[in-house]
Amino acid sequence: MFSPLVVLAAFAASVSAITIISPNPSQGWTNDGAQSITWQAVDSDPKNFTILLLNDATNVAPVPQQLAALVVTSLNKIDVNPPATGWPAPGTKYRIKFVADAEHLNSQLCQSDEFAIRAPALSSGSSTLPSTPVLPPTSPGASQPTDGTPSDSGAPTPTNSGALPGMSLQTSLVGALVVLGAFLAQF
C-alpha cells in the first residue's frame, strides 16, 4: 500500500506551477488585433502547451476557441492573433486556459482569472475638409467668373485619347478596317 506521503509527493509533482499574469480583471483585451498573454513558469512545467479562450457564460462562447498550440513555456509571453472566426463580441467572464495539447483540451495546466474583452477605443484624430473650394485648371486666356464658379466657355473638353474630337472607338475601328480592306484589294 502507498504511504500518504508518497501519494502527496506524486500529486505535487503532477500539479503545474504555471500562473497566468495577464490578461486579468484589471488588464483585459480589446477585440481588435493581436493580444498579449503573459505567464510565469517553473522548470518542472511542461515544455509546451496549448492556449484556449473561453467564456464562463456558456451562451456567449460555449466552445473554447484555440488561440495557439505548441507554445514554448519558457517564453513567458506570446501575442496571439484572433481566431479564424475573429475575436468574440465585447463582454465579461472571459478566461484563458492553458491545456496540455490540442488533443487533450480537458487536461488543464492553469486558467486565468475572469477578464473583459472591450471594443477598441476610437481614435481621437479628426479629418478635416479643405476650407477653400478646389477648382479645375483652366486653359490660358479663359475667363473665370468673379464668384469663384467655373464657367462654360463652350469649347470641347480636352482628352488624352489621341482620337479626333467627336470620334468614337467604333468609328476608329471601322476606318481602320476600310483602310486595311483597300490595302489588301491592291494585291
When pLDDT is averaged across residues 32-47 and rounded to a whole number, the result is 97
Confidence band (pLDDT; 50, 70, 90) for 5?
very low
When pLDDT is averaged across residues 7-36 and rounded to a whole number, the result is 80
Q: What is the 3-state secondary structure (H, E, C) of 47-96?
A: CEEEEEEEECCCCCCCCCEEEEEEEEHHHCEEEECCCCCCCCCCEEEEEE
Q: Does residue 154 lie within any of the structural domains?
A: no
Residue 16 C-alpha cell reads as 503545474
d(CA 21, CA 28): 11
Q: Does residue 51 lie within any of the structural domains?
A: yes
Q: Does residue 42 lie within any of the structural domains?
A: yes
Tally of structural domains, the chain: 1
CB 138 within 8 A of CB 152: no
169 has pLDDT over 80: no
Q: Does residue 66 lie within any of the structural domains?
A: yes
- 79 or 85: which leads in pLDDT: 79
The CATH number for 101's domain is 2.60.40
User: What's the predicted TM-score (pTM) here?
Assistant: 0.58
Q: Does residue 131 lie within any of the structural domains?
A: no
Q: Does residue 137 lie within any of the structural domains?
A: no
Coil/strand/helix, residue 4? helix
pLDDT confidence of residue 167 = 47
Q: Which of 17-26, 106-115, 133-142 has the lowest mean pLDDT?
A: 133-142
Distances (CA, A) of 177 to 165, 166, 167, 169, 181: 20, 19, 15, 12, 6
pLDDT confidence of residue 170 = 60
61 has pLDDT over 50: yes
Q: Does residue 132 lie within any of the structural domains?
A: no
Q: Does residue 84 lie within any of the structural domains?
A: yes
**pLDDT above 90: percentage of residues in the chain:** 45
160 has pLDDT over 50: no
d(CA 135, CA 150): 7
Residue 46 C-alpha cell reads as 511542461
Bridge-based pairing state of the strands 48-55 and 91-101: antiparallel
CB 36 within 8 A of CB 78: yes
- In sign, the C-alpha dihedral spanning 80, 116, 90, 18 is positive
Structural domain including 61 reads 17-118
